[in-house]
Amino acid sequence: MSTDLSRLPDGSHDPVSVGLDVPHESAALHVTGTALYTDDLVPRTHGVLHAHPVTSPHAHARVTDLRPEPAYGVPGVVRVLTGADVPGVNDAGVKHDEPLFPHEVMFHGHAVCWVLGETLEAARRGALAVEVDYEPLPSLVTVTEAIAADSYQGGRPTLARGDVESALADAAHVFSGRIDFAGQEHFYLETHCSLAHLDEAGQVFVQSSTQHPTETQEIVAHVLGLASHEVTVQCLRMGGGFGGKEMQPHGFAAVAALGARLTGRPVRVRLTRQQDMAMSGKRHGFDAQWRAGFDDSGRLVALDATLTSDGGWSLDLSEPVLARALCHVDNAYWIPHLRLHGRVARTHKTSQTAFRGFGGPQGMLVIEDVLGRCAPLLGLEPRELRRRNFYADGQETPYGQPVRHASRITAAWDQLVERADVAAREAEVAAFNAAHEHTKRGLALTPVKFGISFNFTAFNQAGALVHVYKDGSVLINHGGTEMGQGLHTKMLQVAATALGVPLDRVRLAPTRTDKVPNTSATAASSGADLNGAAIKHACEQVLARLRDVDAGRGLPWDELVRTAYFSRVPLWAAGFYATEGLHWDSTIMRGHPFKYFAYGVAAAEMEVDGFTGAYRTRRVDIVHDVGDSLSPLIDLGQIEGGFVQGAGWLTLEDLRWDASSGPGRGRLTTSSASTYKLPSFSEMPEVLHVSLLERAHEDGVVYGSKAVGEPPLMLAFSVREALRAACAAFAPAGRPVSVDLASPATPEAVFWALQQARGACTSEAEQARNEPSEAEQARNEPSEAEQARNEPSTKPPAPVVQGSPGLVPDQPPPDAPALHPTSEEVGEP
Amino acid sequence: MDGGPATAEGGVTISVNGRSLPLGDARPHTSALDWLRAQGLTGAKEGCAEGECGACAVLVARPDPHDAGTTRWTAVNACLVLAVALDGQEVVTAEGLGSPTPVERLHPVQHEMAVRGGSQCGYCTPGFVCSMAAEFYRPDRVPGEASDEVGPNGFDLHALSGNLCRCTGYRPIRDAAFALGSPDADDVLAARSDTPPPAPVGTRLTHPDGVFVRPRSLAEALELLVEHPDAVPVAGCTDHGVEVNLRGLRPSYVVALDRLPELRGLVVTDDVVELGAALTLTEIEARLSDTDAEVPLLSAVLPQFASRLIRNAATLGGNLGTASPIGDTAPALLALDATLVLVSVDGEREVPLASYFTGYRETLRKPGELIRAVRVPRPPAGLTGFHKIAKRRFDDISGVAVALALDVTGGVVTRARIGLGGVAATPLRALATEEALTGRHWDADTVAFAARVLADEGTPIDDQRASAAYRSAMLGQALPRLWHESRESR
């Protein structure tokens, strides 16, 4: 079975669509502005009501009174939706910890109720008229505050192997450190949007920009007190998702559906950019404390770390994000003894959620930071230190899964060193740096190993429908959603290949819950693997029947299809796929959660201006493993786009919350495009070379391909490490210096880092302190002034401390709860 | 519809993709974007509603900056332009450039974007297509030597600096832009460029929500300001549109100034360069390049000011009228010793920019007064530097802006003017530093001494753009950087 899945059809006469460079299936619609997104349906729908939220001006408060009546005095206001209107369950989440209409507001911008108006302007004015009384309550805004207050939620998993304490005691070198790094706003260009109406039988039809139509359907049903078969959710396409539309759309869809149910009219909920940023969850920021031990040759012998994610006000996906983070702290490195604790801080912020990489990037950031900071202290070039620690074939991850194709890491690395002419360019960089006092360059390579599959085994299933019509044309449906990643393009290619028809004979219909039920989110990079296999399964059922009809005659497709119809042979099939060989026990954090690993290596060269900390990306080279590419143009787009998005997270994108004690406490101060900066053209690498890893066929996956959505994002650590290298070059006499670089590495953060390097004392004695000085401890504890500033500040991370015990990561209490075995599952645990 | 009926003299109509459409029930504050979408033209998207992302970009037929008798297809953010302000104008959207089927009906820009993987989710794409089309049609785009930011086809990448994409990482979009040829001989929009753009139309729209007036002359505008002391004068609406969209500003009376000929002059004499307050920044860039006048700091600011989409609408009058403490033109104009010509029904007066800013977003401009022009004395200082400190090189708002203009004669600083933005409630001159420099030898010691003085200027604060410490540090770096740059360039 698995070999069949990855093998191309026999017979050279069949057109083979997979592997062809084809543009996105909607490209012509995109460029002409005729591709429709959910909000584009509004002017095409009669009598739509518009919704506007009434939002909390407090980070945490009890709602003591809510008076909607004044809103009805505003011309055009039709209805105010409050908790009293909910016929079913007043909850927008799958954990039942997210009241849709809260009595206690848990973050600044939390919607208390929604106003429906004939126009958006009427709804907005109505929302201003609603009177709400609040009793402010104490709030926790930063993860540091939450740690100090012991404020956690959900399970506190530990991933461990070997004997960390003994290994650290015996290690030749022990270092410790801490880094508090920021999350990321998805900033899909299309904000959250849902449009709901009732059909003639009173069933609810919701068009939603959602990565998870099935769960949107379930939440709408439970809010309205309906069964799932009374609710249909359709997603035409999304203007970007990146994980931000995996869980977050449900509540907005439920508000639209509730409004439609109560008024009998179509209701549109579309967030403005400011609302979207202030109200919806983001990538988790983390605090990480670590101790790392190395042997004399620079090999990692032990890692002890505690990762605290900033979960925001409710759990959402924080537990599985944390689990994936812990499962990716190893990245591409063999760490024999290891103990990783994880916990989810509860803070009064948006409920942080999935974002491309799903904790993987945060886990990897920890080990890349450890290696980047320790290399100079070990007297090794970072490139050499990393390579020396790569997994070898036969080794297992800390959670007990063999690292299949581990040697591909070293192969890709060496390939890139050669292709990107790394050795010669390192010499050029050194020469440039010697000749330039105020401008320095840095060149760095980093690897990616990323596990593919949902950690939670049950989600690794998919369904599809394939219809062959009498004229030989083909229509396919599958459970995955299109958010720009090119899933639909790949699925068309898979269907055309499996059926042996030209690509233009296959069409794809929008994702709907009444076509393919019980789908998993389009997430975890798994869309093509799962849905592709399901489509192929459906196609093969039809093909098997057609083969019987053909009986060796070799009829052309159209004639064969017609003959089959008249022979009363069904020409459609439902396909299904469940990934084989997976098992995972989240209570002990062990198992075989991933079908395979995707690999990649990147080399980035950055140039830093010593006057300002501003930087440019001079050149980036990437070798990435997509298996046998289903669609090279699409895969290239995912690699490049993921890389730039990762670079944005690590450099420019700077989420700040008001952490002062003033009236704006808890407010996201970067809640707009003018204050939150995505990469623009100016951040594009001046030279960019991307190649796909050769001889990368992945057995057991659809046509030998590999998932590509998330892994390339983590190639961007090369940018961060190149910035670190450039900062280090500002050190006097060019001596190796351990650079503490904040994340995001904004120009300001880079300026402070290079200033630190400039002032670095080069004496070994100063570098290798055994105890953190008072000053350092003070830096670990944010000063009052820093507390008052927006969070996270651009203060550099605490400097690395050499020697044991140094900084010891927080250890969990004996009664710390494990992750629930079904912590990712939908519905009641 | 709520809010009651609108009335407009003669009826407002806008030509979109060659069809004349009535304004309908749009209000005075309805953006062109919302209006277009309500017409079913949903290609233009709202990504941010503040002119930062360009997903709403459309083309408008404007006078060519070099030759007002011809038309320049100009890309603007439809989210910031008021729909009513387009009365009598011609707009082209992504839908109007080409059609998806058959493939031959795609516009060349659309074709390149489609086949090169320039779209992924597709949401930003119509805006990119419009910005790219504007550059495609730019008459002075000529093939030549390529650089990082200019293609072999003469395509200036800065044309796309106001468009954000979250999916592609931009490389395929750059490839599409650099692969474009020239318009075909039968290209309709290229042919349209050879004829004059639509003339501005006097407009009055009265609605219970407010009144919009586009007067026909400066005199009429000034009279309106006397009759309606609370009237808000607008030009490119790049600030006004943000206030309307994000902060719910609904002024009862709006007077549009951007097409008034009296505010759109550019005059160069031996002593002064006079820049009309309602010229767009793009027009100033282009028209200055047609003269022999050098305005050094301004020429450094303009390419870094926001994005091409914004510069196609924004004016000096608007930038100085709103008196943002950051607005990048103010520090440069302060260092250039610029003056403002203020005009009212009582006549004109000229005030130094250095005394114009009186407080946070407050100025000595009186009710009823407008900025008619900005005067920059000639010749300019010999040694200048403009340092914009921001997160992003394109399309960002400064954390700090420093403009330096020094005259150095015989090795001695004879005159120093330094303008600062982002370090106080108003743009300001670094007077203590100017004094510390004046009369001293221009050498490393003076630079180090004066740098310490400059680092203490202003009253910088912590905000999301930069910390106070970083702002002060950047002030402290400005003179060493200028010193370094002046020696590098020798």
ipTM score of complex: 0.96
pLDDT of residue B148: 86
Cβ neighbours of residue A76 closer than 8 Å, sequence gap 6 or more: A117, A118, A119, A121, A122, A123, A125, A126, B1, B2, B3
The one-character DSSP state at A396 is: B
What average pLDDT score do residues A73-80 get?
98
Nearest to A527 by CA among A627, A581, A453: A453
Query: Chain A within 8 Å of B284 (Cβ-Cβ)?
Result: no
**From the centroid of its chain, how far is CA B247?**
21
Q: Which of A540, A605, A698, A710 is catalytic?
A: A710
Q: What is the C-alpha separation between A645 and A659, in angstroms, rounded?
A: 27
Nearest CB partner across the interface for A32, out of B95, B115, B121: B95
Q: Which of B94, B394, B397 sits opposite A674 (nearest CB)?
A: B397
CB-based contact B481 A240, cutoff 8 Å: no
> Average pLDDT of B236-262?
97
B451: confidence class by pLDDT, cuts 50, 70, 90 = very high
Chain A closest-CA separation from residue B378 CA (Å): 30
Give the DSSP H/E element, type plus range, for residue B172: helix B171-178
* Interface-testing mutation among A26, A32, A282, A615, with chain B (most B C-beta atoms within 10 A): A32
The answer to whether the CB atoms of A644 and B170 lie below 8 A apart is: yes
Q: What is the mean pLDDT of residues A250-259?
A: 98
Residue B304's closest chain A neighbor by CA?
A682
Contact A31 B129 (CB under 8 A): yes
What does the pLDDT read at residue A829?
Answer: 30
Least-confidence region, from A3-12, A279-288, A634-643, B121-130: A3-12
In chain A, the percentage of residues whose pLDDT exceeds 90 is 88
Instruction: Calculate mean pLDDT across residues A377-382.
Output: 96
Nearest neighbour of A688 by CB, restricted to B171, B389, B464: B171
CB pairs under 8 A between A and B: 279
Q: What is the pLDDT of residues B377-393, one digit of tens each?
A: 999 999 999 999 999 88
Which chain A residue has the Cα nearest residue B122?
A30
CA dihedral B396, B73, B20, B216 (to 10 degrees): 80
pTM reported for the whole predicted model: 0.95
What distance in Å separates residue A781's CA from the closest CA in chain B?
A: 19
Quick check: A675 and B44 CB within 8 A?
A: no
- Cβ contacts of A432 within 8 Å, gap of 6 or more: A439, A440, A441
Query: Is A296 within 8 Å of A378 (Cβ atoms)?
Result: no
Percent of chain A topping pLDDT 70: 93
Say if residue A558's pLDDT is above 80: yes
What is the model's pLDDT at position B1? 35
Per-residue pLDDT tens over the stretch B180-204: 999 999 999 999 999 999 999 999 9
CB contact under 8 A, B164 and A645: no
User: Taking CB atoms and an 8 Å limit, are B43 and A680 in contact across chains?
Assistant: no
Which amino acid is located at B206 in the chain?
A: T
Give per-residue pLDDT as tens, A108-160: 999 999 999 999 999 999 999 999 999 999 999 999 999 999 999 999 999 99
Distance between CA A236 and CA A230 in Å, rounded? Answer: 20
The confidence score (pLDDT) of residue A734 equals: 59
- Among A263-267, A797-801, B204-208, which stretch is predicted with the lowest mean pLDDT? A797-801
Q: Tell me which chain A residues have a C-beta less than 8 angstroms from the C-beta of B392.
A: 652, 677, 679-680, 682-683
Residue A144 CA to residue B449 CA, distance in Å, equals 40
Mean pLDDT over each residue of chain A, to the nearest integer: 93
Q: Is A710 a catalytic residue?
A: yes
- Type of residue numbered A280: S
**Which residues, listed in sequence order, are joined to residue A65 by a DSSP beta bridge?**
A133
In angstroms, the separation between the Cα of residue A594 and the nearest Cα of chain B is: 26
| A538's tokens | 């459906």
- Contact A291/A804 with Cβ under 8 angstroms? yes
Contacts of A681 in chain B (CB under 8 A): 157, 160-161, 170, 174, 394
Q: Which pLDDT score, from 0 to 100, does residue A822 have?
A: 65
How close is the nearest chain B Cα to the Cα of A632, in Å?
11
Tell me, yes or no, if B93 comes closer than 8 A to chain A by beta carbon: yes
Average pLDDT over residues A320-333: 98
The amino acid at residue A392 is A
* Partner-chain contact B48 A273, CB within 8 Å: yes
Instruction: Name the B residues in 105-134 with CB < 8 Å from any A CB.
Output: 106-107, 109-111, 113-126, 129
For residue range A170-179, what is the model confidence (pLDDT) as tens digits? Answer: 999 999 999 9
For residue A796, the model assigns a pLDDT of: 64
* Nearest-by-CA chain B residue for A654: B464
Set of chain A residues whose Cβ sits within 8 Å of the Cβ of B3 = 75-76, 119, 121-122
Using CB atoms, pick whichever of B109, B129, B473 lies closest to residue A751.
Answer: B473
- Rounded to an integer, what distance in angstroms lies between the CA atom of residue B376 and that of residue B302? 15
A-chain CB neighbours of B80 within 8 Å are none
Q: What is the pLDDT of residues A335-377, one digit of tens each?
A: 999 999 999 999 999 999 999 999 999 999 999 999 999 999 9
Residues in chain B with CB shorter than 8 Å from the CB of A237 are: 121-122
Question: Per DSSP, what are the bridge partners of residue A448?
Answer: A600
Residue B309: closest CA among B33, B106, B18, B14: B33
Q: What confidence tier does B2 reach under pLDDT thresholds 50, 70, 90?
A: very low
Phi/psi for A790 (5° steps) reads -65, 155
Q: What is the least distance, in Å, from the CA of A489 to any CA of chain B?
A: 11
**Which residues from A are below 8 Å from B118, CB to CB?**
27, 31
- pLDDT confidence of residue B397: 86
Answer for the pair B27, B2: CB distance below 8 angstroms, yes or no: no
> What does the CA dihedral A136, A142, A148, A153 come to, rounded to 10 degrees?
80
Tokens of A120: 């958006």
Q: Do A32 and B106 touch (CB under 8 A)?
A: yes
User: Which residues between 187 and 216 in chain B have a beta carbon less than 8 angstroms from any beta carbon of chain A?
Assistant: none
- Is B392 close to A673, i.e. CB distance below 8 A? no
Answer yes or no: is pLDDT of A11 > 80. no
- pLDDT of A15 reads 62
Question: Which of A31, A637, A685 lies closest to B114 in CB terms?
Answer: A31
Q: Output the furthest CA–CA distance in chain B (Å, rounded).
A: 72
* Contact indicator for B375, B274 with CB cutoff of 8 Å: yes
Cβ-defined contact of A29 to B2 (cutoff 8 Å): no
Distance CA B128, CA B117 (A): 13
pLDDT at A795: 58
